[in-house]
């Protein structure tokens, strides 16, 4: 086996490992996007909730404690 065949084999191995790592990173990114969507849906305030919250704050300001 000459040196060019060995170098090609090593580079091919590195390429396969790199593609596999890219695949793993892509899977993890998809998982994180799903988690982010879940968190966003929990934190999202609707207009009614925001109006109610503002109203409660105004009522609390009027109280004399």
Q: DSSP readout, 1-61?
A: --HHHHHHHHHHHHHHHHHHHHHHHHHHHHHHHHHHHHHHHHHPPPHHHHHHHHHHHHHHH
pLDDT at residue 59 in the model: 87
Q: Locate the domains of the chain by residue range.
A: 3-62
pTM comes to 0.61
The predicted pLDDT at position 65 comes to 64
**What pLDDT is recorded for position 42?**
77
pLDDT at 46: 77
| pLDDT single digits (tens) 5-55 | 999 999 999 999 999 999 999 999 999 999 999 988 877 777 788 888 889
């Amino acid at each position: 086996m000459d040196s060019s065949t060995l170098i090609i084999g090593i580079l091919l191995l590195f390429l396969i490992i790199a593609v596999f790592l890219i695949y793993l990173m892509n899977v993890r990114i998809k998982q994180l996007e799903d988690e982010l969507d879940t968190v966003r849906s929990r934190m999202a305030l609707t207009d009614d909730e925001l109006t109610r919250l503002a109203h409660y704050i105004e009522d609390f300001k009027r109280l004399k404690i």
